[in-house]
Amino acid sequence: MFEEGKLWKNRFGDGLKELSRYLRYILNGHIVIVLVFLFGMAAFYYQEWLKGVPEDFPAAAIMAVLLGVLLTYSPVYTFLTEADKIFLLPVENRLSGYFRRSLGVSWAVQAYLLLMGLGIFMPMYAVVNGGSFEPFLFFLIGSLAVKLLNLLIRWHVQYYVEKNTKMIDSVIRYCLNAAFLYLLFSNAGILFLLPVPAVLLVLWLYFRKQTEPKGLKWEYLIEQEERRMTSFYRLANLFTDVPKLKDRVKRRKWLDWLANRIPYGQDKLHAHLYMRTFIRSGDYFGLFIRLTVIGGAALYLISFGMGQILLVLLFLYLTGFQLLPLRNHHENKLWIQLYPLKEEWREKAFTSLLSAVLYLQTIILSLVVLLKGDGLAALASAAAGAVFSWVFANIYSRRKLKN
């Protein structure tokens, strides 16, 4: 006999085991120490920045715009697998309790993220509003109630197959959420706050009524669950091999000129291979872009003085460390082993690519420092970054990969 409670318990337990299995590797890595140091530096600069915040600073508007994203983004963690669209389809009408539990877990996880986001912005709010933290509990309760309505609406919107419906839903909810948060942080009265939750409640009731005759979109729900786990697997893959991780490859024709610049020759095969893997794989190229953008923003907004140099080195380390798996990306492909190529050519190709990527990131981050008008710090950042890049690529990476 089918028992939805037992099914949920097994799926939720398996999900926790999978997460804890890889979290052990992630939390034991050197990158955690770097991230702790990075967050500590960000907290220090944030505290220093707060000392100069004027009383007319638009804290309510900024908090509404940014926290509105957390309220609007409301995925439902279903723990579904590919086979469920076949084996669970016949009992779809008996899975209401299963999905209620999914909504409950999803709300709890996203409530924690909302709590963290609110905790980050409350010092700024307190500075602008006379140093008072008293409204924090009221803000939290109001935000969590609206988050629940967002989650319920999103669940019913997933019954639609039209992408435009999902996009329009997100835009409308974001506008409503941002308006609610702005009124909330502006200390507006209850009479001004209630209309927004009332509209969200009406939307939920409307979508619930409209989706009653519709069936679950199993392919969409499974795809969303696979994307969520793939994101986690990509993070875990930086620390250990993840057999379940599926590679994403994208042509990116506009970057072919980078590979075409490499001359042809027997000793250049791995140079071509690593370059095309880097520019076509979302895991590596996307990682470089994201860390460079985040590093540039952090340098421009939250750092000054010698702290800029340390921040440049931190992001170079994060980039270099997370590019190390590229060295063994094709390790399990037999055809690579069949070529009569020297191992030193392979080592040279990887070292050259890693050096080039880190040198390029050094130049970009140093230019960001220069844009702030600090020429001496920019020059020091470039010099320190160049030395660090050479040492990391030619010494550290080789020792790390041999272990």
DSSP annotation string for 36-72: HHHHHHHHHHHHHHHTT--TT--HHHHHHHHHHHHHH
Boundary residue ending a domain (213, 236, 259): 236
**Both 288 and 168 in a single domain?**
no
Number of domains in the chain: 2
Residue 241 lies in a domain: no
On whether the CB atoms of residues 129 and 185 are closer than 8 A, the answer is no
Looking at residue 204, what is its pLDDT? 94
Residue 223 lies in a domain: yes
**Both 11 and 72 in a single domain?**
yes
Residue 337 lies in a domain: yes
**Both 161 and 118 in a single domain?**
yes
On whether the CB atoms of residues 279 and 251 are closer than 8 A, the answer is no
- pLDDT single digits (tens) 18-52: 888 887 777 765 666 666 777 777 787 788 878 88
Boundary residue ending a domain (212, 236, 260): 236
Q: Say what the pTM is.
A: 0.73
**Both 184 and 273 in a single domain?**
no
**Both 168 and 275 in a single domain?**
no
- pLDDT single digits (tens) 222-281: 989 988 888 787 777 666 666 666 656 566 665 565 655 666 665 566 665 777 777 766
Question: Residue 372's CB: how many other CB atoms inside 10 A?
Answer: 15
Residue 243 lies in a domain: no
304 by Cβ neighbours in 10 Å (0-12 / 13-18 / 19+) ranks as middle
**Both 120 and 175 in a single domain?**
yes
Q: Which long-range contacts (CB under 8 A, 24 or more apart) does 255-260 make?
A: 255/279, 255/285
**Residue 403: C-alpha distances to residues 243, 324, 397 (Å):** 20, 12, 10
Looking at residue 268, what is its pLDDT? 60
**Both 76 and 27 in a single domain?**
yes
Boundary residue ending a domain (194, 210, 236): 236
**Both 182 and 294 in a single domain?**
no
**Both 10 and 114 in a single domain?**
yes
Q: Which residues of the chain have pLDDT under 70?
A: 1-2, 28-35, 131-133, 237-272, 280-283, 302-305, 328-346, 401-403
Looking at residue 156, what is its pLDDT? 93
Amino acid at 195: P
Tokens, residue 96: 């209401």
Task: Give first-to-last CA distance, the chain, whole Å.
Answer: 51
- pLDDT single digits (tens) 109-124: 999 999 999 988 888 8
**Both 287 and 204 in a single domain?**
no
**Both 269 and 360 in a single domain?**
yes
CA distance 352 to 346: 10
**Domain containing 392: what range?**
251-400
Looking at residue 241, what is its pLDDT? 62
Angle at alpha carbon of residue 39, lines to 385 and 55, rounded to 5°: 110
**Both 258 and 396 in a single domain?**
yes
Looking at residue 372, what is its pLDDT? 81
